[in-house]
């Protein structure tokens, strides 16, 4: 039998959540500050449904009480499958006139306690691959009444639930925020703006089971929230699509190493470069402890069509004088002469060259005196 923990279960929506969950086959842990009223709710729920009901009196604005509830949530022997963060408080005074202690307590209960209990429940749920967190916000988070900080705290609950739900996508854990409107009591009138607490509880639990991030019970509030959430829904969808595209690129990079494979088959893309061995040349030393690596021959290897007798052996730098290269037999060519002889022959050939006379330059005829005078003015 799964177990659910409900905060603020001594009255209002908390008591209705406890009764509805017990009817659906859940064991419930009820948390509230008023121990006497909490025990009365537990007895009524247990007698009506036959479910296992556990009470845990704790003040969530007190660090000791908050730590006790966190320990119960993280208990591995009795795991919590569903967390209902229902506890909340509203300061009636105007902000400028409200006591600082009351405002601080409002933030401690509506924001800090909700965040810490969610943080305590999510890791264990993620490890099991299933679970749910139901954060009770308010329509005041969209349109807060003037003068107090209650609407700001509920607006934070909406944004916080949306952020955590996005980070848990695909883990099997669902986080749902409930934008509840006005809850009808015995003294409130009938009307579409006043919601029955049982309808709110059933609608929110059904939306949680469907995996929805936001639940707005009541057709009036559902229409208003749908209109107000349209820009955020579009941004959330765009972010999800962008995240899937980024994950796909990462998988391609990890799998093949190429984000965009070439359409032309390249079977030798990843083949190693062929190793070309160097010719074996003896290593000689310059000094007693300074080895010099072998050098490549300064002349190419002998072609296949050249005889070995007429092709000089390869020479290594610094091993001796340059060899005298002769032309192959049968060509009628004389051996290569030294550099001094080649220079003398070149000078003699230049001296024997006869220069041709230069062509005469054309001579411009002089203009007559009349033309000169007209040109001058």
Residues annotated catalytic, as ranges = 150
Spatial contact of 25 and 51, defined as CB atoms under 8 Å apart: yes
**CA Rg, the chain, in Å?**
47
Bridge partners (DSSP) listed for residue 195 = 183
3-state secondary structure of 363: coil
3-state secondary structure of 176: strand
- List b or e across 318-337, with b for residues whose CB sees 16 or more CB atoms inside 10 angstroms: eeeeeeeeeeeeeeeeeeee
- List b or e across 95-106, with b for residues whose CB sees 16 or more CB atoms inside 10 angstroms: eeebeeeebebb
165-172 CB contacts, 8 Å cutoff, 24+ apart: 165/213, 166/236, 166/239, 166/240, 168/122, 168/126, 169/240, 171/126, 171/129, 172/125, 172/126, 172/128, 172/129, 172/130, 172/131
Give CA torsion, residues 233, 238, 239, 243, to 10 deg: 140
Displacement of CA 44 from its chain's centroid (Å): 50
């Amino acid at each position: 039998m799964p177990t659910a923990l409900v905060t603020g279960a001594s009255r209002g929506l908390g008591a209705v959540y406890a009764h509805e969950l017990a009817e659906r086959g859940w064991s419930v842990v009820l948390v509230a500050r008023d121990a006497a009223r909490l025990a009365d709710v537990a007895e009524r729920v247990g007698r009506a449904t036959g479910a296992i009901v556990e009470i845990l009196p704790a003040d969530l604005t007190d660090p000791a009480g908050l730590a006790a509830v966190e320990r119960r949530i993280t208990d591995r022997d009795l795991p919590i499958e569903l967390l209902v963060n229902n506890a909340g408080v509203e300061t009636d005074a105007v902000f400028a006139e409200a006591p600082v202690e009351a405002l601080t307590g409002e933030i401690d209960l509506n924001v800090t306690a909700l965040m810490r209990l969610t943080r305590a429940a999510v890791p264990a749920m993620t490890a099991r691959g299933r679970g749910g967190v139901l954060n009770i916000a308010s329509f005041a988070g969209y349109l807060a009444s003037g003068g107090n900080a209650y609407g700001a705290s509920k607006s934070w609950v909406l944004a916080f639930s949306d952020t955590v739900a996005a980070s848990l996508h695909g883990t099997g854990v669902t986080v749902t925020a409930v934008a509840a409107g006005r809850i009808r009591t015995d003294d409130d009138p009938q009307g579409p703006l006043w919601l029955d607490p049982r309808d709110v509880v059933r609608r929110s639990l059904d939306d949680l089971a469907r995996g929805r991030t936001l639940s707005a019970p009541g057709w009036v509030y559902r229409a208003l929230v749908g209109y107000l959430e349209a820009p955020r829904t579009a941004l959330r969808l765009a972010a999800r699509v962008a995240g899937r595209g980024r994950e796909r690129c990462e998988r391609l990079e990890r799998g093949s190493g190429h984000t965009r494979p070439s359409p032309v088959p390249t079977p030798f893309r990843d083949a190693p470069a062929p190793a070309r061995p160097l010719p074996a040349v003896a290593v000689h030393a310059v000094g007693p402890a300074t080895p010099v690596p072998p050098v490549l021959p300064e002349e190419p290897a002998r072609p296949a069509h050249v005889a070995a007798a007429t092709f000089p052996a390869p020479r290594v730098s610094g091993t001796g004088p340059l060899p005298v290269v002769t032309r192959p037999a049968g060509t009628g060519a004389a051996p290569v002469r030294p550099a001094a002889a080649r220079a003398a022959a070149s000078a003699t050939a230049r001296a024997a060259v006869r220069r041709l006379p230069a062509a005469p330059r054309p001579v411009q005829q002089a203009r007559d005196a009349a033309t000169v005078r007209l040109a001058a003015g």
